[in-house]
């Protein structure tokens, strides 16, 4: 089982990279056969190629991320975070609750994000 | 799939009943074969008898609960909440992130709570 510190480090690094927007760097945090379901109820993406498409889709949007609440247990993490999207003069924010599971090396095995369009707030 | 409103109603009712402390009422929110893992990494309890023991253990402690952030997706919910325990003049608070899945009738199929002793704050 990865240490709680290693899991916290992956979560923090993940949010940094989501803000920085480099898809290839984000993928280094994912195990090869990882899955992504974002938002919950959408198709589950499996493997780096499928996951690459997901992140590439919003790579070029200016973003800020902030970790609000992190809970780690076993080889899993649940966390509330803020994603602020900046488009011109307009800023909007989504605050998902995400769930991740991790392998021995604290690479992400699965990521599931709970949010819905009604959660998007114009700032 | 249960409606988002029905899921939100079960979550709110659950937190009310956790505060009120009546174990039998709490159990009415759970499907017969439901599972509880609280906190993450502890033994998974299955079925009403096992789950009854879990809630009965802290039924008589004075408690307050507050829903801070709720996200519903598909037949699942993730939420951040506050549990305040009152013992004499002392108050302590845990703020778990919980994950629940629900059946067609919005009864709880599984509950998993992410928190650890280091998250407990003396108020």
The dotted CATH code for A4-122 is: 3.10.450.50
pLDDT, tens digit (0-9, with 9 covering 90-100), for B67-91 = 999 999 999 999 999 999 998 889 9
CA distance to partner chain B, nearest, from residue A41 (Å):
5
**What is the average pLDDT score of chain A?**
95
Dihedral (CA of B16, B19, B23, B27) sign = positive
How confident is residue B111, by pLDDT bands cut at 50, 70 and 90?
very high
How confident is residue A16, by pLDDT bands cut at 50, 70 and 90?
very high
How confident is residue B123, by pLDDT bands cut at 50, 70 and 90?
confident
CA distance B37 to B99: 10
DSSP assignment, residue A103?
-
H helical segments located in B57-108? none
Q: Which residue of B has its CA nearest to A42?
A: B74
Q: Do B73 and A115 touch (CB under 8 A)?
A: yes
pLDDT at position B117 is 83
Question: Residue B38 catalytic?
Answer: yes
Active-site option among A24, A30, A33, A38:
A38
Share of chain A above pLDDT 90, in %: 87
Question: Residue B79 catalytic?
Answer: no
Is B19 an interface residue toward A (CB < 8 Å)? no
**ipTM of this predicted complex?**
0.93
pLDDT at B21 over 80: no
Contact B97, B80 (CB under 8 A): yes
* Residues of chain A numbered 28-47 and touching chain B (CB < 8 Å): 39-41
Is B117 an interface residue toward A (CB < 8 Å)? no
Q: Which residue of B has its CA nearest to A40?
A: B73
Domain range list for chain B: 4-122
Q: Do A80 and B80 touch (CB under 8 A)?
A: yes
pLDDT at B116 over 90: no
Q: Do B73 and A39 touch (CB under 8 A)?
A: yes
Number of H helices, E strands in chain A: 3, 8
pLDDT, tens digit (0-9, with 9 covering 90-100), for A41-96 = 999 999 999 999 999 988 889 999 999 999 999 999 999 999 999 988 899 999 99
């Amino acid at each position: 089982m990865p240490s709680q510190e290693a899991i916290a480090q992956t979560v923090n690094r993940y949010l940094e990279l989501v803000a920085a927007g480099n898809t290839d760097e984000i993928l280094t945090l994912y195990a090869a056969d990882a899955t992504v379901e974002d938002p919950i109820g959408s198709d589950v993406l499996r493997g780096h190629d499928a996951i690459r498409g997901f992140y590439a889709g919003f790579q070029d949007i200016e973003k800020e991320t902030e970790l609000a609440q992190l809970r780690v247990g076993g080889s899993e993490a649940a966390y509330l975070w803020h994603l602020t999207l900046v488009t011109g003069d307009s800023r909007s924010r989504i605050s998902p609750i995400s769930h991740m599971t991790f392998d021995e090396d604290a690479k992400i095995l699965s990521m599931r994000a709970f949010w819905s369009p009604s959660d998007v707030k114009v700032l």
